[in-house]
Amino acid sequence: MFLGQAQETPASKPKTETVKPEIQEVKKDSVIKTDRYGLRVGVDLYKLTRGLYDKDYKGIEFVGDWRLTKKYYLAAELGYENKTTDDDRLNSSAAGSYVKAGFDYNFYENWLDMENLITIGMRGGFSAFSQDLNSYKIYNSHPYWGEQPSVLVNQKYNGLTASWLEVVLGLKAEVFDNVFVGFGVQLKLLATNKKPSGFDNLYIPGFNRTYDGSFGVGFNYTVSYFIPIYKKKIMAPEKSTAPKKK
């Protein structure tokens, strides 16, 4: 009897509990969540610090995004690079500015009022630059007369341009109030490439190293600051309180 009673009482308790969530849910629906909208500006730490330990590199990249909707962000990067590429047979420098613009789509569902981002996005990039051919070697597979030393030329090629498309995977986490650190990788596809006559664009600022095909890669490590400009009130959807699926 005791046991029966003991079982009955817990059984009756869940009944009250199943009622309670209904009340809670009604309450949650009435809770108003706010999304902050604004401008996030930052800088690529990798490019900024690389100049300290790599004497062949100087560069800077500013990043920015503007929240358009709940999930879409307008995004852009603006940068300058001056890089000397020392290959086995060629030594050349590329210097110039670039701009990239496009969008990011945040597919990360934040809990409560968190504002982290995992994004996939696209950019169009454009670079205007110059190239210096510093020295080259003659490739001779029959070096009977000995390997000739590098030929110094210091030939400058001005007025070069290139444009490309990027798919960007990114991650931004808020580490302090309004301060985000981010990491992103880019897969690039060269669309136009104005090469100098008698030479090639071995490095394109913003696009990075060129390969035999038209693909390229890149990454950045950013720190940025979010400037809130306005808030949008939204009803917290029920789904957001549901546990995250693995």
Partner 1 sequence: MKKFVSILLLFTFGLSSCEKDDICDANTPTTPRLVITFYDDIDPTTPAPVVNMTVKGQDQENPIIFNKNATDDNQYYVNASTVSIPLRTDSDTTTYEFTYNASGTGRNTDILTFRYTRESIYVSRACGYKMNYILDQAAPVVRTDPDGVNWMLNINVLNRNIVSEDETHINIVF
Q: How far is the CB of 227 from partner 1 (least distance, A)?
A: 25
Q: Interface mask (CB under 8 A) for partner 1, residues 56-95, using x and -?
A: -------------------------------xxxx-----
Stretch that binds partner 1, among 29-37, 74-82, 160-168, 193-201 (CB under 8 A): 193-201
Q: Which stretch binds partner 1 (CB under 8 A): 4-12, 44-52, 143-151, 225-233?
A: 143-151
Q: Does the footprint of partner 1 cover residue 53 (CB under 8 A)?
A: no
The CA distance from 60 to 70, in Å, is 30
Nearer to partner 1, 62 or 136 (CB): 136
DSSP string covering 212-244, please?
Answer: SSSEEEEEEEEEEEEEEEEEEEEEPPGGGGSPP
Beta-sheet pairing, 72-86 with 90-106:
antiparallel
120 touches partner 1 (CB under 8 A): no
How many residues of this chain bind partner 1 (CB under 8 A)?
30
User: What whole-number distance in Å separates Cα of residue 241 and Cα of residue 168?
Assistant: 29
Single residue of 126, 219, 223, 236 touching partner 1 by CB under 8 A? 219
Q: Return the structure tokens found at 167.
A: 């798919």
Query: Using the rule CB under 8 A, is 140 a contact of partner 1?
Result: yes
Q: Is beta strand 151-176 parallel, antiparallel or unpaired with respect to 117-136?
A: antiparallel
Find the shortest distance in angstroms from Cβ 103 to partner 1.
19
CA distance linking residue 131 with residue 211, whole number of Å: 17
Instruction: Please list, residue by residue across 214-246, b when 16 or more beta carbons sit within 10 angstroms of its beta carbon and e when fewer do.
Output: eebebebebbbebeeeeeeeeeeeeeeeeeeee
Residues 6 or more apart whose Cβ sits within 8 Å of residue 46 = 219, 220, 221
Integer Cα distance of 199 and 158 in angstroms: 12
Single-letter residue type at 138: I
End-to-end C-alpha distance for the chain, whole angstroms: 44
Candidates 2-10, 21-29, 53-61, 133-141; binding stretch for partner 1 (CB under 8 A): 133-141
Contact range with partner 1 by CB under 8 A, out of 14-22, 51-59, 74-82, 144-152: 144-152
Residue closer to partner 1 by CB (options 165, 185) is: 185
CB nearer to partner 1: pick between 26 and 112: 112
Q: Show the site string, 11-50: x = touches partner 1 by CB under 8 A, - = not.
A: ----------------------------------------
The span of 124-132, 158-166, 195-203, 229-237 binding partner 1 (CB under 8 A) equals: 195-203
Residue 63 corresponds to which tokens in the numbers above? 């990043």
Contacting positions for partner 1 (CB under 8 A): 87-90, 108, 118, 136-145, 148, 151, 169, 171, 183, 185, 198-200, 202, 211-212, 217, 219
